Amino acid sequence: MLLDKDAIAAEIKAKIVEIAAQTGDDASSLEMDEIIPATGLIDSTGLLELIAWYEKHYAIPLAQEEINIDNLGSLTRMAEFVLRKKQAAA
Amino acid sequence: MATPVYVPRINNNDDEVKILGFEVVKGAKVSADQILGQIETDKAVMDVTAPEAGYLLGFVGQPEEVVKVGSVLLWIGKTAEEEIPEMKADPGHDGAGGASQTTAKARLLLARHGLSVDAVPPINGRVTVEAVERYLAESGGKVGAPRRGGEAAVQPLDPGPNVAGSVVELTREEKGMASTVSWHRDFAVPGYIEIEYDTAPWVEYAKFFQEQKGLLMPPLLPLMAWRLIQVVKEMPRINATFVHGKRYEYQPVNLGFTIQAGEALYLAVVRESQQLDELAFVNGLGDVLRRAAGHNLRESETSGATIGFSSMERWKVTRHVPILPPHTSFMVAHAAGHAGKAVLGASYDHRVLNGGQVVSALKKIATPPKHQ
């Protein structure tokens, strides 16, 4: 399991690129601090797929109240949230 | 003694008519002169009425079937338990080129199993109940199951394609979809209506709601689904189905929401959704959809929908006609907009709802709540 912030962000970005491609969009230029829903690169169904993958891949079950812009709004925030959850569990 | 009701003549030039449908079901009590169904030719439609009071014992002709004028259309008895006589059918009723004769009771049995008379080898030149039962036994149950109440249309036995290929087993999800589509075909009387609406008020409302609540997920579709649930409170008949000739209005609003997860298409269900406030519903639906996306739906979230919501906006589809989930009568069809306009449609069961009611419901759903 990768516990480096940049490596985690790179994994998440790769997943977003894969999801965006399903609807013909190219997310390869997504920046670290861009607010993902605001980019329009992936829709609500794509976001659901991303979150489902994120929970499973990093083994961090999410409560509904944790699924917000502050925690998961950008690549940076998603990566930092993984690290925070892992530290809390350690 | 059972009384046959014959196919009436509409005009002098037509010796055959098409059965449009029936307004009564097998076993129903009927009064003299009650309209039992309709037949048509190219020129006219005519009601078929009961010659006397009694009980409808069974149909010989079936909807969409072309039958000879003067042949037996259905049977009426003094009691619901009366036997239909084993009679020789009108030779003209056997269809084009039919060399054998088919008895009335055999026709009922064929219809119940969705069989074509051509599939059954006759006995001594006649297709009788014995011949049909022998065919069913020899088929080892591979033919169609008996139909509910004998009221659905005849479905010919599909002999399968005659082009080389291989059989692929369906996944659990694919079987579910096939089952849903079959219910829609066999038991609903589906209609579809759409209206055009301005998308800006809904987009604005969803944006406001998302920012106010700090949500990650765009809440437009969950909010529209929640609006649908509020409309049910005003129009409970859209949260209903049709059972034994009556409308069955559900107590809970179990909202089914379609979601494509990989190759699987789920109808994820939020039960008792009428008890949730707006935010609780948006979060509750989000939970269910997240489990669907991860292929982890709970058993209770995969069945029991009483009303439905479907969107194909993701695929930039601007119009679609959804299939009604089993035992529902209203399924919203949301689609992608263009230049500030979009269509909002609904598939509906015409036995439960008429077009005016559907339009009324759609207009309400197309209007977002006021900002709070």
Q: Do B221 and B273 belong together in one domain?
A: yes
ipTM associated with this complex: 0.80
Q: Do B237 and B143 belong together in one domain?
A: no
Instruction: Decide if B166 is inside a domain.
Output: no
Q: Do B262 and B324 belong together in one domain?
A: yes
CA distance B338 to chain A (A): 16
Identify the domain boundary among B162, B184, B206. B184
CA distance B142 to chain A (A): 40
Q: Do B24 and B143 belong together in one domain?
A: no
Instruction: Decide if B18 is inside a domain.
Output: yes
The domains of chain A, with CATH numbers, are: 5-89 (1.10.1200.10)
Question: Of how many residues is chain A composed?
Answer: 90
Instruction: Decide if B160 is inside a domain.
Output: no
Mapped onto helix, strand or coil, the DSSP state of residue A74 is coil
| Closest listed residue to residue B171, CA positions, set B256, B265, B260 | B265
CATH number for B286: 3.30.559.10
CA distance A45 to chain B (A): 8
Q: Do B71 and B120 belong together in one domain?
A: no
Residue A48 is nearest to which of B220, B283, B293, comparing CB atoms?
B293
Instruction: Decide if B141 is inside a domain.
Output: yes
Q: Do B203 and B348 belong together in one domain?
A: yes
CA atoms within 13 A on the CB side of B207: 7
Q: Do B224 and B357 belong together in one domain?
A: yes
Q: Do B342 and B227 belong together in one domain?
A: yes
- Residue A25 near chain B (CB below 8 Å): no
Pick from A1-5, A59-63, B31-35: least confident:
A1-5
Q: CB–CB of A73 and B216 under 8 A?
A: yes
CA atoms within 13 A on the CB side of B57: 24
| Closest listed residue to residue B342, CA positions, set B197, B192, B193 | B197
Q: Look up the pTM and report it.
A: 0.65
Q: Do B131 and B208 belong together in one domain?
A: no
Q: What is the pLDDT of residue B153?
A: 46
CA distance A69 to chain B (A): 5
Report the share of chain B in percent with pLDDT over 90. 44
Q: Do B15 and B145 belong together in one domain?
A: no
Instruction: Decide if B159 is inside a domain.
Output: no
Parent domain of B239: 188-365
Q: What is the pLDDT of residue B132?
A: 81
Report the share of chain A in percent with pLDDT over 70. 98
- Residue A43 near chain B (CB below 8 Å): yes
| Three-class secondary structure assignment of chain B | CCEEEECCCCCCCCCEEEEEEECCCCCCEECCCCEEEEEECCCCEEEEECCCCEEEEEECCCCCCEEECCCEEEEEECCCCCCCCCCCCCHHHHCCCCCCEECHHHHHHHHHCCCCHHHCCCECCEECHHHHHHHHHHHCCCCCCCCHHHCCCCCCCCCCCCCCCCCCCCCHHHHHHHHHHHHHHHCCCEEEEEEEEECHHHHHHHHHHHHHHCECCCCHHHHHHHHHHHHHHHCHHHCEEEECCEEEECCCCCEEEEEEECCEEEEEEECCHHHCCHHHHHHHHHHHHHHHHCCCCCHHHCCCCCEEEEECHHHCCCCCCCCCCCCCCEEEEECCCECCEEEEEEEEECCCCCHHHHHHHHHHHCCCCCCC
Residue B294 is nearest to which of A43, A52, A72, comparing CB atoms?
A52
Q: CB–CB of A49 and B220 under 8 A?
A: no
Q: What is the pLDDT of residue B108?
A: 75
Q: What is the pLDDT of residues B342-362, one digit of tens each?
A: 999 999 999 999 999 999 999
Q: Which residue of A has its CA nearest to B216?
A: A68
Residue B294 is nearest to which of A44, A56, A69, comparing CB atoms?
A56
How many domains does chain B fold into?
Answer: 3
Report the share of chain A in percent with pLDDT over 90. 71
Q: Do B72 and B104 belong together in one domain?
A: no
- Residue B283 near chain A (CB below 8 Å): yes
Number of residue pairs across A and B with CB atoms under 8 Å?
Answer: 61
